């Protein structure tokens, strides 16, 4: 009987230790686990026992005041369902059963009220590219999926097939009483402004749009910073001396990429006494090539063929799924490199990794998670999140399989250039400055 009691105590302490490490609580981290086992084997010192458990309870109470009970319960459950990871593998099977029973009892005792409640509903309205666009819609949705695992929320998505769907999709989510409505893309700006005005008690978050409403968190990105790095690399790697870019539509959230890309190439020319030409964006006129679509791959293919016929061997399409047309054109020609946008296209197009030089990445999944967490823990308030190189909200993706294509001295240049952009020594176009 005494051995069984000690076994239960050891398992209980192991559970407490695991929770404490997960929540970064001080009470357990101040004690070595072997010392705790010594207490169990030799008889707990009353003083140490009191200090140990009172500190633990105090830390747990503080942590539960910082986060909502439902987050606590989700994490608690996730820890307990992994009991076998912190029980010694040589212990008997019944030890695991005992520990799991204890875990279930603790979870039920703490969390039954939360389990009975409806989950927080997070609702996303996509732009016309759809939720599987391998670009900004999908990246934002990945943030919702991560939140489902981390916070136990319920994610719901409505895909817009045309701009006529924007307002009705938002209205549907109003009717569904969503706890947060995320609208993805600059094209949803007007519909989101109208809804946030009409429904001030609802919470909204825009992606790639800034509407400055008290019930809305705007997620915007200084993508020209990362695009500058991409343009610099493209100018260094090109064999023809011609690179290109084009947009889905010539709207600010697209042309900011194109402008940064062209400026990066110009900076390479300036510092290396070269004359690499950029097709698709004119820095002086602030005009560029756009195909008026975020869904027609054939348009992407045709504009790519035109640019390749003019000598371009590296092209950055800023057009969501339309960029797949650029990949198709380069496959047909058997030459050229693509620079992806929004997500890392090395993973978005796994069958074409030999064509993906790098990508200009926007961490929309991370910023979306940040907004959802504020809804879950009750700290949501209107404002703006700006993703920059400094905050790691934007960046240049790795070169992956094409690392050998990029000269070592160019790779070495990137970190100093990144720092010059961050500290303002390299100035970008003030027209695209995202103000927090």
- Residue 187 belongs to what domain range? 121-221
Structure tokens at 229: 């790095």
Instruction: Looking at the structure, tell me whether residues 274 and 418 fall in a common domain.
Output: yes
Q: Is residue 18 situated within a structural domain?
A: yes
pLDDT score at 38: 46
Q: Which residue, 55, 81, 116, sits at the end of a domain?
A: 116
Answer yes or no: is 396 within a domain: no
The verdict on residue 388 lying in a domain is: no
SS3 state at 398: coil
6 and 110 assigned to the same domain: yes
DSSP codes of every residue in 129-190? T-TTSSSHHHHHHHHHHHHHHHH--EEEEE--SSGGGHHHHHHHHHHTT-SEEEEESGGGHH
| CATH number reported for the structural domain that contains residue 428 in this entry | 3.40.50.2300
pLDDT value at position 435? 79
- pLDDT value for 67: 47
pTM across the whole model: 0.73
Look at residue 147 and tell me if it is in a domain: yes
Judge contact between 289 and 249, C-beta under 8 A: no
Decide if 98 is inside a domain: yes
Mark which of 116, 131, 149 sits at the end of a domain.
116
The pair of structure tokens assigned to 259 is 């402008």
Residues 238 and 190 both lie in one domain: no
CB distance 279 to 307 below 8 Å: yes
Structure tokens at 405: 């294509």
Is residue 377 in a domain? no
Asked if the structure places residue 354 within a domain, the reply is: yes
Whether 231 and 332 share a structural domain: yes
Give the single-character DSSP code of 342.
E
Report the C-alpha gap between 345 and 355 in whole angstroms: 10
Same domain, 425 and 290: yes
Are 172 and 266 within one domain?
no
- Same structural domain for residues 22 and 96? yes
Number of domains within the chain: 3
- Exposed/middle/buried for 350, CB within 10 Å: 0-12, 13-18, 19+? exposed
**Domain final residue, candidates 81, 101, 116:** 116
DSSP state of 407: -
Burial classification of residue 40, based on how many CB atoms lie within 10 Å of its CB (0-12 exposed, 13-18 middle, 19 or more buried)? middle
Model pLDDT, residue 135? 80
Q: Following DSSP, what letter does each residue of 350-385 receive, concatenated? A: GGGTTTEEEEEEE-HHHHHHHHHHHHHTT---SEEE
Does residue 112 sit in the same domain as residue 153?
A: no
Q: What secondary structure letter does DSSP report for 435? A: -
Residues 178 and 265 in one domain: no
Q: Are residues 217 and 342 in the same domain?
A: no
Task: Name the residue among 355, 359, 358, 356 with its Cα closest to residue 332.
Answer: 355
- Measured distance CA(387)–CA(405) in Å, rounded: 29
Pair 206, 108 in one domain: no
Asked if the structure places residue 380 within a domain, the reply is no
162 with 251, same domain: the answer is no
Answer whether 320's CB lies under 8 Å from 347's CB: no
* pLDDT of res. 134: 79
The mean pLDDT values, 10 residues at a time, for the chain of 436 residues are 50 53 42 44 45 51 50 54 46 51 54 62 92 86 94 94 95 97 94 97 95 96 98 98 97 97 98 98 97 94 98 97 96 97 94 97 94 95 95 96 97 98 97 87
């Amino acid at each position: 009987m005494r051995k069984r009691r000690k076994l239960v105590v050891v398992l209980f302490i192991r559970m407490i230790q695991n929770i404490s490490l997960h929540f970064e609580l001080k009470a357990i981290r101040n004690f070595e686990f072997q010392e705790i086992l010594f207490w169990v084997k030799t008889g707990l010192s009353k003083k140490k026992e009191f200090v140990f458990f009172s500190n633990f309870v105090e830390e747990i109470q503080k942590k539960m005041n910082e986060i909502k009970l439902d987050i606590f319960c989700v994490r608690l459950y996730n820890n307990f369902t992994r009991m076998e990871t912190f029980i010694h593998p040589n212990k008997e099977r019944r030890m695991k059963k005992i520990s799991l029973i204890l875990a279930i009892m603790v979870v039920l005792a703490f969390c039954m009220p939360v389990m009975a409640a409806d989950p927080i509903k997070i609702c996303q309205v996509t732009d016309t590219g759809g939720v599987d666009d391998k670009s900004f819609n999908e990246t934002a949705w990945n943030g919702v999926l991560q939140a489902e695992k981390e916070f136990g929320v319920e994610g719901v998505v409505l895909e817009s097939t045309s701009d006529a769907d924007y307002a009705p999709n938002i209205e549907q989510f109003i009717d569904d009483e969503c706890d947060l409505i995320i609208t993805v893309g600059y094209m949803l700006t007007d519909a989101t402004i109208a809804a946030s005005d009409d429904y001030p008690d609802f919470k909204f978050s825009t992606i790639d749009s800034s509407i400055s409403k008290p019930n809305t968190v705007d997620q915007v990105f200084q993508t020209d910073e990362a695009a500058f790095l991409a343009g610099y690399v493209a100018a260094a790697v090109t064999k023809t001396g011609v690179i290109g870019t084009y947009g889905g539509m010539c709207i600010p959230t697209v042309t900011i990429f194109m402008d940064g890309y062209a400026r990066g190439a110009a900076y390479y020319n300036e510092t290396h006494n070269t004359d690499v030409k950029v097709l698709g964006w004119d820095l002086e006129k602030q005009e560029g090539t756009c195909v008026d679509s975020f869904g027609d791959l054939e348009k992407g293919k045709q504009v790519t063929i035109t640019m390749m016929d003019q000598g371009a061997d590296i092209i950055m399409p800023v057009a969501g799924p339309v960029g797949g047309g650029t990949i198709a054109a380069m496959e047909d020609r058997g030459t050229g490199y693509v620079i992806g946008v929004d997500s890392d296209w090395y993973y978005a197009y796994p069958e074409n990794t030999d064509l993906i030089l790098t990508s200009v990445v926007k961490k929309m999944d991370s910023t979306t998670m940040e907004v959802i967490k504020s809804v879950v823990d009750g700290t949501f308030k209107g404002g703006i999140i700006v993703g920059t190189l400094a905050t790691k909200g934007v960046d240049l993706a790795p070169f992956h399989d094409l690392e050998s294509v990029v000269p070592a001295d160019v790779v070495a240049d990137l970190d100093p250039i990144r720092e010059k952009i961050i500290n303002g020594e390299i100035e970008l176009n003030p027209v695209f400055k995202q103000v927090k």
